[in-house]
Structure 1
């Protein structure tokens, strides 16, 4: 089957969150399963720089007049190579820094057109703009690509029908714009309707994908149920309930070629379930590098996350005193809301031998944190899937999570019975509040003081299946349904 994956970012070229990891891993897993996969990406500088053998496929104009060139090339080499299309439109994409925001962290004023072009180019490929390759299914990821199903739904170009699939990675980020931005997008007036892109008088890219795609998916079974409720539906729960018959929750996987402590070149020492000594050495090396006290018996809590209240960092801030009082250490990597950045900096300055905060994002440092950590903190208010806890599981850094979304699907609490049954993999709390977080924290310390049980749980966590093959097979089933 010829499948076009449409995304705004792709690891390892451009990454601001888990979307890039999925966009980079899923095409490879589908190709391994025998599918003919290509990706379509905006021509951001980092993506252009990482795409080789670029050649022009076709020139075209956006509905509002901007000129663009569709180019084809290759990302990666050998078995990890991905055939890629690149939208070359420098006026829209050739900007430094974050692909979505300016230097002041404000969304670019023309984001509606920048990402409408991504959907429009996907629809052009569905219509045969590349005479050498035409997809049978277009799979659009998140709001940035969500206009692709809308453009496809209103296109009258003769030819075979092309199926459309839309995946919600995080319903909270919807791509909502003023209604004035609808003009010029090239969609008929009928598209700006309650049964279409209109959302409380605004223009919603996310709603376009949810309404017009043949099939819908999201990134965990629990999140698929949650987004159909008022509590987590972000105002779109009614639409999602109405389309529940075409909605599937497919749990993300982990790319074992990138995330594997036994072969991870970014770690100072490798390790696995049978050779655990490397993890102890990774912890000591990180403690020394960060200026933390080199204490092998002090449990090291790590957090790699966007700094937002959604991610539950205020719970972590409120629990630092208890964490330190029980002999723990905390190492953080993240960027986001200024008040959270400043608060973690202050806590690190007040206890430099026990708390370290790195503001920003560094892929190598993220690997080192998982490699060194004993506990990975993911106390999110909501979490569609979450890859952080899955990396923690893989690296034997037991996740401490709120029972929600993909966190609920991937982490089993350390109850006595689940430890006895060999099922426990981390620490889970139910109520999103300080007492719930504190009790989970205390359970982590209690288990850490029982080394034999800790090793048993850690071994279970590290051996939890998390490959992309099972997810890829489910996606193929959804693609087939989109063509029915």
Structure 2
């Protein structure tokens, strides 16, 4: 099968979060199953130069002239869209001032339009059997395919985070080359605005999200962000397929970012020493080293962690943090580090090699999210023998076996779960982690079980391949 993936970021080429990791890993996971995936991605600055064997095609679009570059980079089969809309300093979604680009509706309207056009009309003799659109940035792909007509390939859209919906004013409709008839509750209209994501949910053949628990949560007002009614209407077309990680990239036995490679948790110690040296911190004897690798936002529950820090410090534990985001949270963590420099270390920003080192060197990783569609951080923690301490929500609940008394006795435990949005329960989970860590035998059993937990793409890739064949049976 030939599948076109339409996405706004793709690791290792451009990454702001887990979406990029998924988009980068899925093509390789699908290849052994007879599915060839090509990825359509904006040609952000510097990307075109990384293509090997590039072939250029000029396209005329309602958004202006575009050059499509076919080629390969980092083992990925790519189509890069070159346009002045993408050739600018800053990130994929924000400028150097970290504010959203004011023309994001055009930037990702173009990406969606091209996704539909390339899939339906082909490119240099290649044509997609089906399209996989990711999140709001590709949300209009199914809408444009619907406008092309019944002969167009069918699309599946994946919700990576329903909180981000691509909302723009009604006046953007003509610029998006959408007919006025589309501005209705059955199509893209949402509370008087254009919603890219709603367009995708309304018009895709199938809808997936990134964990079974999140699929159920999305049907409720608490988690659906206003789209729960539409999702309940389409519940028979909604499926939760758990994300995986690329186990060749995330492998403590071969990871070059580590101080020492290892294949058993008891061999992590040199990496722990490296993290402590980098951050200038040291836990009390027998206490664990916690880490955080995260965007600093309230969705990630990091304001809750600030409130729970006294429990961590009372246990003699230490904390190493890498992340950036909301300025007040950045300042709160910096203030905590200034107040406890021997126990709390903070680096504002994102450093990919350092994130690998933290996963290898910490004893436990804190993920106190208020909601988490899937999460990759806990999967990496499991892979590296670093116990996740996480909220019982979304994919966190689907991938972590809580270290309650029964799970500890049976040897099934892989981490520690707590109630979402609950500082007291988060603090208790931190204390439980410290208690188990003091029992060397119990801790060894838990971390060995964590490292053996399957976190790759094998099962999920099979689920996606089966889904593509359902929506494009003629190509199966």
> TM-score when scaled to structure 1?
0.95
User: What residue in structure 2 maps to residue 82 of structure 1?
Assistant: 76
CA distance in 2, matches of 1:28, 1:296: 44
2:26 paired with 1:22: no
**Structure 1 residue 429 corresponds to structure 2 residue 422:** no
After TM superposition, the runs of 4+ consecutive aligned structure 1 residues lying more than 4 A away are none
Aligned to 1:69: 67
Using the TM superposition, give the Cα deviation of residue 296 of structure 1 relative to its aligned residue in structure 2, in angstroms.
6.3
Aligned to 1:101: 94
Per-residue Cα deviation, 1:364-409 (whole angstroms, up to 9, x for no partner): 0000000001111001000000001111111111001110000000
Residue 480 of structure 1 aligns to a residue whose secondary structure is helix
Cα distance in structure 2, aligned partners of 1:297 and 1:444: 12
Partner of 1:149: 142
Q: Which runs of 5+ in 2 are unaligned?
A: none
Residue 283, structure 1, aligned to residue 272, structure 2: yes
Q: 1:334 to 1:170 in 2, by over 3 A?
A: same
2:133 counterpart of 1:140: yes
Conservation of the 8 A alpha-carbon contact between 1:38 and 1:83: yes
Number of aligned residues: 473
Match of 2:439 in 1: 450
Which residue of structure 2 lines up, in the alignment, with residue 476 of structure 1?
Answer: 465
Give how far 1:46 is off. Answer: 4.0
Q: CA RMSD in A?
A: 1.3
Shift of the alpha carbon at 1:294?
7.1
* SS of residue paired to 2:117: helix
Please list every run of 5 or more consecutive structure 1 residues that lacks an aligned counterpart in the other structure. none
Q: What is the deviation of 1:458? A: 0.5
**Hey, what does 1:172 align to over in structure 2?**
163
Partners in 2 of 1:48 and 1:326 — Cα distance? 51
User: Which residue is equivalent to 2:299?
Assistant: 310
CA distance in 1, matches of 2:5, 2:193: 27
Q: Is 1:385 aligned to residue 384 of structure 2?
A: no
* Cα deviation, residue 312, structure 1: 0.6
Number of the residue aligned with 1:120: 113
Residue 431 of structure 1 and its aligned partner are, at CA, apart by 4.7
Per-residue CA deviation, residues 159-218 of structure 1 (Å, 9 max, x unaligned), is x54121100000001110111111121222221110010000001001011111001100
Q: Deviations over 1:24-75 (max 9, x none)?
A: 000111112221211100011143243222211x3222214x1111110101
The separation in 2 between residues aligned to 1:324 and 1:150, in whole angstroms, is 52
Is structure 2 residue 449 aligned with structure 1 residue 460?
Answer: yes
- TM-score relative to the length of structure 2: 0.97
Deviation of residue 128 (structure 1)? 2.1
Corresponding residue number in structure 2 for 1:265: 256
Shift of 1:297: 3.0
SS in 2 for 1:454: helix
Q: Is the 8 A contact 1:72 1:85 kept in 2?
A: yes
Residue 295 of structure 1: CA displacement?
Answer: 5.9
